A and B are shown apart, each in its own frame.
Chain A
Amino acid sequence: MASHLGGLSGAPVVRVESLIRSFGLRTILDGLSLDIDKGEFVALLGRSGSGKSTLLRALADLDDKVSGSGRLETPDKKSVVFQDARLLPWKRVLENVMLGLNLPDAAKRGRAALEEVGLGGRENAWPVELSGGEQQRVALARSLVRDPELLLADEPFGALDALTRLRMHDLLRQLCARHQPAVLLVTHDVDEAVTLADRVLVLDKGGIVADIAIDIPTPRDHGDRRFGEVRSELLRHLGVETKPVLPV
């Protein structure tokens, strides 16, 4: 629970109070409140249509066309990783990482970020020349090069194959350990949430119905008994009943 120690030292970096967001007559977020501490890794689970992305887009200031109310405090330095890597196809990899980065040493930082995600040497490749996993790593580099205090990730590994996804989990964990941003990871993958997060939230009917701190030491083993218990509990909140996991 190292992340919560960070929370003791100051105010949370994200503070959401009675957030309401609706599309037409449909209320997606109904008075939702949420705090995320400095450096805390929070995973957000929920069924499709539960409002996960709506919440993330609200935090990313991408919902100016949505009606709603509420108090929303987020840091200035935040970045978003989308489900698609969203690289500009007409920019080479390094230029994509440096987009919007108006610093004198932008290129140097960009190269370092690419090195960090294991893509050193691919600076001059076009996005179409990369695999899906590599593109998503470029997107991670593009986010991290900005030294965000808050990293918002909207099902960033949803479009990747299972093996690549596992590798990306390791990478994301390493990067977060090094850069210490607060993270909100939206996902529909319970195992992914339990593997990566300090705290897992379940969103349903416009509010948070479960808020579970994950106290399993890292690296986390999917076969671990505690892992199984947490998974079952989360699945129950998501409306999926499972048989109790037998101790190994």
Chain B
Amino acid sequence: MNAFSHPAAVAPTIGYASDERALIPPAVKPRKTGTRRRLALGRAIPFGALIGPALLLVVWSIGSVAGLIDPRTLPAPWSVVGTAVDLIAEGKLQGHLMTSAWRAAQGLVFGVLIGTVLALISGLSRLGEAIIDGPVQIKRAIPTLALIPLLMLWFGIGEGMKVTTIALAVLIPIYIQTHSSLRSIDSRYVELAQTLRMGYGEFIREVILPGALPGFFLGLRFAVTYAWLSLVVVEQVNATSGIGYMIDLARNYGQTDIVIVGLVLYALLGLASDGIVSFFQERSLSWRRTLAD
């Protein structure tokens, strides 16, 4: 009767199934519940995101204690923590962190602003698209990191070059996602705006911007990742401060523990910033109902 039913699932239900049979005419078989696969995802596992990383940490600890991992290759978790505590006590870690965060933030802000403005101009006018879309697509085809030599010739090796590199990397996902989200706004809403006699400004504010917001946030999440990625590279090119510089210096002296501290810091920064973005994403897009809900 039911293509999805599994024979094994029938057996334990006999206890009440017989009661049911007494009530239901014999031609109708009692419907087995729970045997059909539900298409939605079911309930979320509490703190599910932490399970994988915790498992990795356990494997790492056991490996270190059992002597399976050479401390020169990968120091034990507790010695990495010890190194971090020392670095904080010396004030080095905070200094490098602030420098890196400030670079990333500046690059992110400029990149997001420029990317959004370009996406709006190109999304809302044919002429704008003709002028802007081509160059952005060309820029997209060239890896940002390949531009570093040119940027160094133009801006030197100071902060300007670093922030510019990050901004250029950030601009692309913001532009692409915002533009595509904006262009896929349902034409029925445009019609509605027309029948409600909205002005152009109101149309942009009430229809276009909120309609493009899902794409903007998706772009922003990519952008944050790209910002950290570019930061890593620019900090290893002629930097005298920042987490990347700290890692590079530690590599020269074979201080694996400091390298790991730097990597953990990058991971925490990446996760924290992604968390902040998705927090705002969820708050701003609370009107949506999706598979994840």
Contacts and interface: CB of A to CB of B under 8 A. Distances in A.
Interface of A: 60-62, 79-80, 82, 84, 86, 88-91, 99-102, 126-128, 142, 146
Contact of A100 (B196, B213, B288): B196
A99 B287 contact: no
B188 interface: yes
Contacts of A90: 210-211, 213, 285, 287
Contacts of B189: 86, 88
Interface in B261-293: 285-289
Contact of B206 (A61, A88, A89): A88
A84 B188 CA distance: 10
Interface residues of B, number: 21
B198 interface: yes
14 contacts: A60-B195, A62-B195, A79-B196, A82-B188, A86-B188, A86-B191, A88-B189, A89-B287, A90-B285, A99-B193, A100-B193, A100-B196, A100-B202, A128-B288
Contacts of B198: 99-100
Nearest to A126: B287
Contact of A128 (B191, B192, B207, B289): B289
A127 B287 contact: yes
B83 interface: no
Nearest to B186: A86
Which residue, A88, A128, A142, A146, has most C-beta atoms of chain B within 10 A? A88
Contacts of B206: 88, 91, 99
Grouping DSSP codes into helix (H, G, I), strand (E, B) and loop, the A interface class, with mixed when no group exceeds half, is loop
Give the one of B191, B195, B210 with max A CB within 10 A.
B195
A126 B192 CA distance: 18
B194 interface: yes
A123 B198 CA distance: 21
Contacts of A99: 192-193, 196, 198, 206
A148 to B, nearest CB: 10
**Which one of B188, B213, B287, B289 has the greatest number of beta carbons of chain A within 10 Å?**
B287
B196 A62 contact: no
A92 to B, nearest CB: 8
A146 B198 CA distance: 13
Interface string B162-174: 0000000000000
A79 B195 contact: yes
Contacts of A84: 188
A62 B202 CA distance: 19
Contacts of A88: 189, 192, 206-207, 210
A60 B188 CA distance: 14
Contacts of B197: 100
A127 B289 CA distance: 11
Contacts of B202: 100, 102
A61 B289 contact: no
A62 B288 contact: no
